Amino acid sequence: MTTVHEAAATATTSADLSVWPASTIEHLRGDLAVGGVPLAEIADRYGTPVHVFDEAEVRDRCRTYLDAFPDAEVLYAAKAFLCHAMARWIDEEGLGLDVWSADELELAATTGFPPDRIVLHGNAKSPRDLDTALRLGVGRIVIASPSEIARLAAAVGPDGHQKVMIRVVPGISAGGHEKIRTGTGAQQFGLSIADGYARHAIARILDQPQLQLTGLHCHLGSQITSVKPYLVAVRRMVGLMARLYDQHGLVLPELDLGGGHGIAYRPGGQALDLTTLARRIRTELADACATAWLPVPRLIIEPGRAIAGPAGVALHRVLAVKRTDERVFVAVDGGMSDSPRPALYGVRYAPRLIGRQSTADRARVTVVGRHCEAGDVLAVDAELPGDIRPGDVLAVPVAGAYHVSMASGYNLIGRPPVVAVRDGLVRLMVRRESQEAIHSGDVGL
């Protein structure tokens, strides 16, 4: 049996596979194998749409982060994609977990994930979110608004104790789309440095003896491909730490710079250089702290997309091909219900025909979904064989983050199954959502 590592060593290096998992191999018959398993075989066995995760790719990316940030705490952002298997992989690789809800927290707990390595976020935490976090004993809760302070203190109780961080808005615009830029003041996340709300909230936290403030947190946005915004954030966060020391004599031991590390979705696309990021953040943090006469806090980072995204592949079957004078539309059996990011953020992917070899000339086509929305577009100007036809299978790389996790039941189409591949084996991670499951909650009149 060919192992993933042997496959990676012999995999083709053609440019069109540069955004695929490292284990990807191209067969002469036109198919691709990931983790030693032919993708066309998965499509036939599990039906389409189906999402595939390369377990070795997930684990390798976890290790890459730990190697790049050896003195930092690395938390996987569960919102990118979470299931029992993913939680186990993350735990076994030594990462912590960043969750946003009681349900994500409960799922992690059922796998035995250590709660002290879990951080709870949320701009609008429900009573259940807080109660679950306190019951399970999460490591830290990130306070994102002033109203949470009294609520959390009351939930902890006078004899309780909970470590907290505070989410700070450093006033930096960064991210691949305006809808995923969260480092500026004109949105719902965190407390601004510029207007003084962050310092005011910190003073209130310090008045609550049952809340232990361990550090500052910020998250600039998502799909950031430049190092510069993170360096600016370091300077501004350390500047706030210096003011807190002057005002309260407070020395905070932790600094969380969030995630948002950009990845390439198409060959030639930009991605954040992780090695450069780690080196320059360490230098900037050491210099800023030395200037402020502060000890260097322990760094925390929260990658999600950069771990899950490149490890995932979505498989769709072509249902219809429509040719007009202006363009060719290729409609597939999925779309915005299982791959919503193109409709939400205008992201475009590079799908590829698998399962058969074509000698036809390449043509530029628009790959669309099956839903009743003109915005249900997966790829514009995608290069596919000119003889593309119904029944063909398209594979979409870099589909591991914010696809299944944001999937919906639009048009009452069930969410797709998720499978894992490794060492020539394929295993079911998440079952396809059945019509029985979809209709079970509909109680009638």
Active site amino acids: 372
Residue with tokens 């995923």: 180
Strand partners, 393: 317, 354
Pick the closest to residue 422 from 5, 94, 61 (CA basis). 5
Structure tokens at 196: 């003084």
Pick the closest to residue 354 from 48, 5, 8 (CA basis). 48
* DSSP H or E segment with residue 254: strand 254-256
- Please say whether the beta carbons of 31 and 40 come within 8 A: yes
Question: What is the rounded CA–CA span in Å between residue 65 and residue 274?
Answer: 8
SS3 content of the chain, % helix, strand, coil (to 5): 35, 25, 40
Q: Which amino acid type is present at position 245?
A: Y
Pick the closest to residue 395 from 349, 346, 359 (CA basis). 349
Q: Which amino acid type is present at position 41?
A: E
Q: Sign of dihedral through CA atoms 43, 46, 50, 54? A: negative
